[in-house]
Amino acid sequence: MNRVNKLFTVSQLFLFASLCSAQQPAVTNHFDGDAWWSYVKFLADDSLEGRDTGSDGLRKAQAYAVEHLQKAGLEPAGTDGFYQPVHLIQFQLDEAKSSLALVGDGQSKALSFADDAFISSRSTRDSTSLTAPLVFVGYGLKIPENNLDELAGLDLKGKIVVYLAGSPSNIPTALSSHYQSAAERWRSLRAAGAVGIITIPNPASMDIPWPRISLNRNHPSMDLDGPEFNETPGLQLGVVFNPASAEKLFVGSGHTFTEIADLGKDRKPLPRFPLAVSLKADAVILTTKVESANIVAKLPGSDPALKNEYVVLSAHIDHLGIGAPINGDSNYNGAMDNGSGSALVLDVAASFKAYPEKLGRSVLFLLVTGEEKGLLGSRYFAAHPTVSAKSIVADINVDMFLPIVPMKILKILGLDESDLGTRAAAIAQSMRIKPIADPQPLRNAFIRSDQYSFIRKGVPAVKIDIGFELGTPEEIIFKDWLTNRYHAPSDDINQPVELQAAALYEEFTRRLLIDTANAPAPHWKPESFFRRYAAD
């Protein structure tokens, strides 16, 4: 562990602050990093077994969180005290009874689940036996706002489409992320008649190397229980194909995967064409019901007119649970993902008790379940909020903010979409921290955490992470972290963490909350694509 000592104690900070002029807000910090770290240590302890959705470990973490939210003086704001029950269905592939093969020239060649391609239970919800021709559809996107229609002119009826994850470079980041969500991509593919999808991860933007993806391929997936929540109706089969094996798909098509990957790395437009092989799939899917819950706590505002409006501070408290062992360790502790954000929620709540601040609006402290299964807890909360839907003015989501380097830069996802992004940038600057937009749009981060559930309901939202500039040594530290620790058992409490960066990030979050609770409600920018969701 490489924990950096905190620079000041809180009392030293106040002394220092009082010696400085009032115009130096960057000096005051209500956090020391140590309290945050003690929450992380509990949440990421081996005994919580990686906080899998529906597990005893997650229930323990939630009981701990409720105890601390209560201690901070917050009011219960769920439907059952602090809890909001969430009903889920679990899907698991019975791999021994399932198979994949490529069929061409009258021959059937079996694919290896471990090395070539696997059936994703996230997009295969029912057992199926299916043989269908394949069509390569580029990135598989239809984006009317940019006059992009990669499906035009192709016969996709009854076909399985093959696409490379990503988007052309002329598509703005937020728009590109939105249309690459499972629901949006499938909407246009389904309309064109497709019955299945094969995703080839883009080698230029894979966070996790194939062997690690493949290792946990049979970890169960989940969805919210109820037809209103099925985002991919009509999708019979979803397969993920190893880019290193993808040439097998292109044999006899007149194209190679090397050519496709070369274009995809620079986000260039891709050709689209029928493939010479078909896919034969047999999938056996086992389903079970699972119960979990969100946690909702309220810090009431004091303004008679505004206190019935809410600013949400959200973080997911679930993680991946117990999985395939890596270096002998099968406990996916999730210290940074997202013990870090859950700890921040508890610590910021405690800070408002220790150092009260005038808040016009009320603040909801929301710890959601099922994020790792596809933003399920937040999707449920956004669809069935425990306060009036119209009263939610903003969501500030915290997920894996990664205090692994000193905090000099904040990466604001949603920076250019709403006033909330603009204000977050201004607060960062007031703390002498440089705000930047997402420098790696290919990673699709804007739709990959719980803020997206709020965005789709019209609520301005941001997710903010400690950042770096491309081409600096920090970029390598982040890249190494994603390759080695992200969604791996080594995301545990024995990793180097910058406590001072965590404390500063918490202070930033506290200021953004206070500002949002008191300033005029944030709005989407007139030119933002996401503004459409706020229309009704």
**Residue among 223 and 337 whose Cβ is closer to Zn ion:** 337
Contact call for residues 520 and 48 (beta carbons, < 8 A): no
CB of 35 to Zn ion, least distance (A): 24
Looking at beta carbons only, is 58 or 192 nearer to Zn ion? 58
Binding-site size for Zn ion (CB under 5 A) equals: 1
Query: Any contact of residue 450 with Zn ion (CB under 5 A)?
Result: no
End-to-end CA distance of the chain: 50
CA distance 275 to 250: 6
For residues 315 to 354, the per-residue mask of contacts with Zn ion, x marking binding by CB under 5 A and - elsewhere, is ----------------------x-----------------
Give the Cα separation of 137 and 118 in Å (integer). Answer: 20
Determine contact, residues 455/524, Cβ cutoff 8 Å.
no
In the bound complex, what is the minimum distance in angstroms from residue 65's beta carbon to Zn ion? 18
Write down the residue that tokens 């037809």 correspond to. Answer: 227
CB of 225 to Zn ion, least distance (A): 22
Residue 45 vs 337, nearer CB to Zn ion: 337
What is the β-pairing status of strands 285-299 and 362-368? antiparallel
Binding mask 76-105 for Zn ion (x = CB under 5 A): ------------------------------
- Shorter beta-carbon distance to Zn ion: residue 337 or 506: 337
Main-chain phi, psi angles of 490, to 5 degrees:
-80, 0
Q: Are 138 and 173 in contact (CB under 8 A)?
A: no
The least distance separating Zn ion from the CB of residue 335, rounded to whole angstroms, comes to 12
Q: Closest Cα partner for 224 from 375, 372, 339?
A: 375
Quote the tokens at residue 173. 């980041």
Residues 100-139 that bind Zn ion (CB under 5 A): none
Contact present, 309 and 303 (Cβ < 8 Å): no
DSSP, collapsed to helix, strand or coil, labels residue 130 as: strand
Judged by CB, which is closer to Zn ion: 321, or 441?
A: 321
How far apart are CB 329 and Zn ion at their closest, in Å?
17
Distance CA 190, CA 168 (A): 21
Q: Which is nearer to Zn ion, 249 or 335 (CB)?
A: 335
For the chain, give percent helix, strand, coil, nearest 5: 35, 25, 40
Residue 383's region, left for phi above 0, alpha for psi from -120 to 50, else beta, is: alpha
Q: Is 44 helix (H, G, I), strand (E, B) or coil?
A: coil
Residue at 476: amino acid letter: I
Shortest approach of Zn ion to residue 400 CB, angstroms?
7
Do residues 440 and 202 make contact, with C-beta atoms less than 8 angstroms apart? no
**Cβ 491 to Zn ion, closest distance in Å?**
9
Which CB atom, from 196 or from 341, has the smaller least distance to Zn ion? Answer: 341
How far apart are CB 418 and Zn ion at their closest, in Å?
24
Please, which residue, 50 or 460, has the CB nearer to Zn ion? 50
Q: How far is the CB of 342 from Zn ion (least distance, A)?
A: 12
The DSSP 8-state label assigned to residue 127 in this structure reads -
Closer Cβ to Zn ion, 450 or 506, answer by number? 450
Phi and psi at residue 196, to the nearest 5°: -155, 170
| Pairing of β 310-316 and β 321-326 | unpaired
User: Least distance (Å) from Zn ion to the CB of residue 316?
Assistant: 8
Which parts of 253-282 interact with Zn ion (CB under 5 A)?
A: none
Restricting to residues 277-306, name those near Zn ion by CB under 5 A.
Answer: none
Nearest to Zn ion of 340, 386 (CB atom): 340
- Measure the CA angle with vertex 116, ends 111 and 121; round to 5°: 85
Give the residue nearest to Zn ion (CB).
337
Which spans of this chain sit near Zn ion (rule: CB under 5 A)? 337
